[in-house]
Amino acid sequence: MDQGTRNYLVVTAGYWAFTVTDGAIRMLVVLYFHLLGYSPFEVAMLFLFYELFGVITNLVGGWLGARIGLNLTMHIGMGMQVAALLALTVPDAWLSVPYVMAAQALSGIAKDLNKMSAKASVKALSGGGSSRLFRYVAVLTGSKNALKGAGFFVGAGLLEWIGFRGALALLAGMLLLVLIVTAVLLPSGVGRMKSKPKFTQVFSKIPAINWLSAARFFLFGSRDVWFVVGLPVFLYEVLRWSFSEVGAFLALWVIGYGIVQASAPRLLRQSHHGQGPGAGSARLWAFVLLLFPVGIALGLQMGWPADVVLITGLVLFGIVFAINSAVHSYLILAYSDRDRVAMNVGFYYMANAGGRLVGTVISGWAYQTQGLTGCLWWSAAFVLAAALLSLGLPALPADESGVQPQAS
């Protein structure tokens, strides 16, 4: 095994461990604070700073990673997540909305430092051409999402098994151990630019990255606008599912979504002749995705069985959304050169976090005022915006060696 592959596997393992805690803490907070009597909108507000600071972190984190190295920013993120988990172990009397929002802000910073660092590292560690890069980023992202789904299940299961605080303490200890191991195994300086970039350089001057980032904003907003608050509360309140059933269902959905995402290179191989996907794929799959929130919303409005409509619709939505996400995750790396990859990925995931922020806020408000069907129509509008913005993406032609050229 070459050194680059070894380092890629270490980064992936660290990202996996972090992702389990990220999924678990989200499910713990949604279910526990709903149990405490918080309204859907109040539960959504608990994640406001989580998403808001994610926007800021991605912008600053890409610049920071380019200056100090991606492995260091990844470990800073892990350390902050340990602190965020422990901060929520205080007595219930301390768990006011501002306090929980502050703890979630810390977790949001940690998550996006870790995600930006891990995904940007793929470009620096992969080597080879577009096919290998697409495979590496799809496996990293897909496996991450599968484990985030496992984290939902872990969070719901631990809540019933050892309670809210015991679950948080156990997760914090696990992540601290992983932090120590990966810090020992990884080399220093991965992704660090040769010259120290100025902060103003974080704003991309490459049109392709700007169009892709705008599309990403609406793509991920379209998921979170019904998935973060509306769906789990609907399953619990309207369909009368237990906490474990809600957690297990969402976990299986995200696991399946991650498996499809990791399999995207094989699923799309025939249409791309062994190369990575291009701008046309981003446009096509965004318009295909539009069919599903519209279909689910119409099914619910027509009075079809809600459980059948949701389960079927979620499976189909998840498959197509996973392909969309895999194509986007590849394109941001393909459009970036190695020297600026940390900053471009940071800018791109700033847009991703912005979409999640807006989607999260709308999810709580829309569910409280318009129900789950209203959340789905908002989702459809966001998907349409992502599809229209994808029309601005330029082609990414292959050079003579079959390797996608880098944007300059």
CATH topology of domain 3-182+207-390: Growth Hormone; Chain: A; (1.20.1250)
Residue 148 near residue 254, CB atoms below 8 Å: yes
> What is the CB neighbour count within 10 angstroms for residue 271?
11
- Secondary structure of residue 64 in the 3-state scheme: helix
Q: Can you give the pLDDT at residue 373?
A: 94
For the chain, give the percent of residues with pLDDT over 90: 26
Note the pLDDT tens digit of each residue in 292-337: 999 999 999 999 999 899 999 999 999 999 999 989 988 888 887 7
Q: Can you give the pLDDT at residue 80?
A: 92
Q: Can you give the pLDDT at residue 274?
A: 53
Q: Can you give the pLDDT at residue 401?
A: 31
Q: Tally helices (H) and strands (E) across the chain.
A: 14, 0
Least confident of 18-22, 59-63, 153-157: 59-63
Crossing angle for the helix pair 97-126 and 48-68, nearest 10 degrees? 40
User: Hunting for tokens 């939902």 — which residue is that?
Assistant: 152
Query: Which pLDDT band, with edges at 50, 70 and 90, does 381 fall under?
Result: very high
Helix/strand/coil (H/E/C) assignment for every residue in 364-406: HHHHHHHHHHHHHHHHHHHHHHHHHHHCCCCCCCCCCCCCCCC
**Interval 233-241 mean pLDDT:** 87
> Does the pLDDT value for residue 198 go beyond 80?
no
Select from 145, 75, 140, 151 the least CA-distant residue to 113: 75
Q: Can you give the pLDDT at residue 346?
A: 76
**Average pLDDT across the chain, whole number:** 81
Query: Which pLDDT band, with edges at 50, 70 and 90, does 148 fall under?
Result: confident
Q: Can you give the pLDDT at residue 220?
A: 92
Q: Can you give the pLDDT at residue 286?
A: 95
Note the pLDDT tens digit of each residue in 110-126: 888 887 777 777 766 65
The domain locations on the chain are 3-182+207-390
Query: Which pLDDT band, with edges at 50, 70 and 90, does 36 fall under?
Result: confident
Distances (CA, A) of 329 to 134, 277, 323: 8, 11, 10
Pick the more confident residue, 299 or 57.
299
Q: Residue 137 corresponds to which amino acid?
A: V
> Does the pLDDT value for residue 387 go beyond 90?
yes
Q: Can you give the pLDDT at residue 404?
A: 39
